[in-house]
């Protein structure tokens, strides 16, 4: 127990039990993701791989790791706890679970890249939750996180209000990659908090592909389609 646990005791966000933010018993309430169903459309595939159809639509992303659907009440609660009340322990717990999925699916990557937000958003919110998640994942996976190479250079509309075609247009050219030569023949893990359409991940993945990266995979705490 460290001094922080004394002042801010770790309690389960679901049942209030002392110890950790999602206690062992409540872990059972998190979604059960079947790794041989496509993480995007749930058609049969192999370990955490996108099915052939989704690989075509979300090219060049090959694998996508998630803890499950955003509609799951406990996952939703956990995401709200980290997004709006910045509960560090919740991020720790979610990152630890995600790291175990990455390991289970034999995810291979050299760099962890969080989905960036614009400078203006950063100024307003004070932090980027994908970056916080990426940093925590980096501790569990012992891979380097790069936060300054991918920039969001313009504002985009909220994706959920748009049609598929509009979503792709909405994010086209919204990001820019610095030092692209750093990624030649590298494997990239892109990290987001909640994936709603996949268009943002696809746009970011294409930038790394263009830079010469050899494999791009992605992860998010939850999917919401």
Comparison of 138 and 219: residue with beta carbon closer to Zn ion: 219
Q: Which of 12, 131, 189, 217 binds Zn ion (CB under 5 A)?
A: 12
DSSP for 22-43 reads: S-HHHHTTS----TTB-TTT--
Residue 26 lies near Zn ion (rule: CB under 5 A): yes
Site for Zn ion in 46-85 (CB under 5 A): 51, 54
Tokens of 212: 């010469």
Helix 199-211 × helix 164-171 angle, to 10°? 50
Site for Zn ion in 28-47 (CB under 5 A): 38, 40-41
Tokens of 85: 């009340």
Task: Look at strands 215-223 and 187-195 and give their pairing.
Answer: parallel
Shortest separation between residue 167's beta carbon and Zn ion, angstroms:
17
Tell me, what DSSP letter sits at residue 172? T
Shortest separation between residue 14's beta carbon and Zn ion, angstroms:
4
Comparison of 15 and 157: residue with beta carbon closer to Zn ion: 15
3-state secondary structure of 223: strand
Residue 199 lies near Zn ion (rule: CB under 5 A): no
Binding interface with Zn ion (CB under 5 A):
12, 14-15, 17, 23, 26, 38, 40-41, 51, 54
């Amino acid at each position: 127990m460290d001094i922080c646990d004394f002042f801010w005791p770790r309690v389960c966000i679901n049942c209030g039990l002392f110890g950790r933010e999602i206690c062992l018993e409540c872990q059972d309430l998190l979604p059960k993701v079947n790794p041989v169903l496509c993480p995007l459309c749930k058609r049969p595939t192999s370990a955490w791989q996108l099915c052939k159809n989704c690989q075509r639509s979300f090219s060049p992303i090959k694998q996508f790791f998630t803890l499950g659907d955003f509609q799951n009440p406990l996952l939703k609660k956990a995401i709200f706890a980290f997004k709006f009340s910045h509960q560090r322990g919740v991020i720790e717990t979610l990152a630890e679970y995600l790291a175990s999925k990455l390991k289970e699916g034999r995810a291979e990557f050299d760099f962890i890249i969080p989905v960036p937000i614009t400078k203006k958003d950063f100024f307003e919110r004070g932090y980027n939750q994908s970056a916080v998640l990426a940093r925590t994942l980096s501790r569990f996976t012992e891979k380097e996180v790069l936060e300054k190479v991918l920039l969001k250079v313009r504002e985009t509309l909220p994706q959920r209000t748009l049609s598929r075609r509009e979503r792709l247009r909405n994010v086209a050219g919204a990001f820019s990659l610095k030092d692209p030569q750093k990624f030649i023949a590298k494997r990239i893990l892109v990290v987001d908090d909640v994936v709603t359409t996949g268009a943002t991940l696809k746009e970011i993945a294409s930038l790394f592909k263009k830079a010469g990266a050899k494999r791009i995979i992605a992860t998010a705490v939850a999917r919401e389609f």
